[in-house]
Each structure stands twice: as structure tokens, then as C-alpha cells.
Amino acid sequence: MTERNASADSSEKRAAGIAASQVVESGMIVGLGTGSTVAYTIKELGRRVRKEGLDILGVVTSYQSEMLAIEAGIPLTTLAQHPKLDLAIDGADQIDSNLNAIKGGGAAHTREKIVSASATRFLVVADESKTSVQLDKVVPIEVLPFAKELVIEKIRGLGGKPELRLALRKDGPVITDNGNFVLDSSFGVIQDPESLAIKLSSIPGVVEHGIFSNVDELYIGKKDGSVKIVRK
């Protein structure tokens, strides 16, 4: 990516992230997702807490979002204390025209799915490059290490091509915040995301997969700085 394109991409993410933050009102308990786009949401919410007196509590989905939220000055809570959230805001690796999404590029999709399912309203922020008519990106699948070989065999039986995600130095597998492995699995164009999601969930040893079918709203940051809002 060129420096100019990277700057444009960052501008789109910023526009989407900040626009989504305006949905948040005082008194809300908000799920805070993981990734480069929702990072702008977290920073803007922190600014509103400091400058506008916004009174919220956040529930984070990863150590990464926890550190960002603490740095931004957002008071945090847990699902154990507040099992029902008013809103969850997160990013996506890809999202289709029916608002089915693939998430898990940051290996936080299990906690992200739990948080999004705990929320009354689930909002996704993304730049235009993340949108597609149909899903065709790899699906991250968190698996118990003990079950890795079984899950690989079952995914292949579904027509998938699983690969164990390795750490950056390639000296071992990526370990999730839950202590598990991630299998990045390609299925080509996914004609029926909900059906595939059900099949993946039925495999013993699968902790969670990265297909999300519970998105209520999508905020798309555009190159001109505007934001397109799509609702289910």
C-alpha cells in the first residue's frame, strides 16, 4: 500500500469510527471491539468522557482494546457485572450485502461474538475496502489445542482449507486471549454464511468461528470523508 493510499484508508476508518461513537449516550454500557477502525471509536469516546462528561461503562473484547480504553479514560466493567449491554461497536475483516461479517483477524472473535450477542444493538464500523457482495475471506476458527487435528479434518470435509495461524516470528502458533489456537480457513465464495456457521459450530473442539450474522448496522467510511449507514 502506498503512503497516499494508507492515508486515505486511515481517513475512511477514522470517519466511520467517529461517526459510530456519536450513537453512544450517557447511561449506556458499551461493548468495545478490537481493531484499527474501532480504535478511533474508543479514542473518540474517551474524548467525550473527558470533555463532554459522557457517562458510560465499557466492556472490552481483548487486551488490546482494554489498553486503548484505559488510555482513553473510559471506565470499564465486565459481563459478570453487566451481562446485558446497550450497544456493541466493532470492526470487521469483511462484510457482505446482507450484513454477514467475517471477523477474527486479531484473534479476538470469540470474545467479540460473546460481547456482540450480549448487546441489544450491534454496530460494525469499516472502510469501503471491507465491503463485498459475498463473503470470500478466510474464516478464523478458534480451536482447543487438543482438538486441532480433528478440527482440521472436519473443516476439510466441509470443503475448507485450514491453516494454523503462526506468530509473527513463526516460532509457534498464535495463542488467543483464551489460550487457544486459530485455524484460518478458506472456503472460497461463501454462498450460505449461516449454514456454514452452523456446521462449524457443531465440530467438537471448535471454540468459536469468525462468521457473524447478528450485525444490526454498518457504518462505512468513504474516501470523501462521509459515512454511509446501512441497517438490517
Q: Looking at the annotation, which residues are catalytic?
A: 112
Distance, CA of 185 to CA of 182 (rounded, Å): 9
Torsion sign across C-alpha atoms 135, 99, 23, 67: negative
What are φ and ψ of residue 212, in 5° steps?
-115, 125
Sequence-ordered strand ranges (E) for the chain: 29-32, 57-60, 87-90, 94-95, 101-102, 122-127, 139-143, 161-164, 181-186, 206-209, 211-212, 217-221, 227-231
Query: Sheet of 161-164: strands edge to edge?
Result: 161-164, 181-186, 139-143, 206-209
Distance, CA of 56 to CA of 89 (rounded, Å): 14
Q: Which residue has the cell 450477542?
A: 117
What are φ and ψ of residue 61, in 5° steps?
-105, -5
Q: Nearest to residue 81, comparing CAs of 32, 49, 48, 118?
A: 118
CA separation (Å) from 206 to 107, 197, 214, 219? 14, 11, 19, 30
In terms of residues, how long is the chain? 232
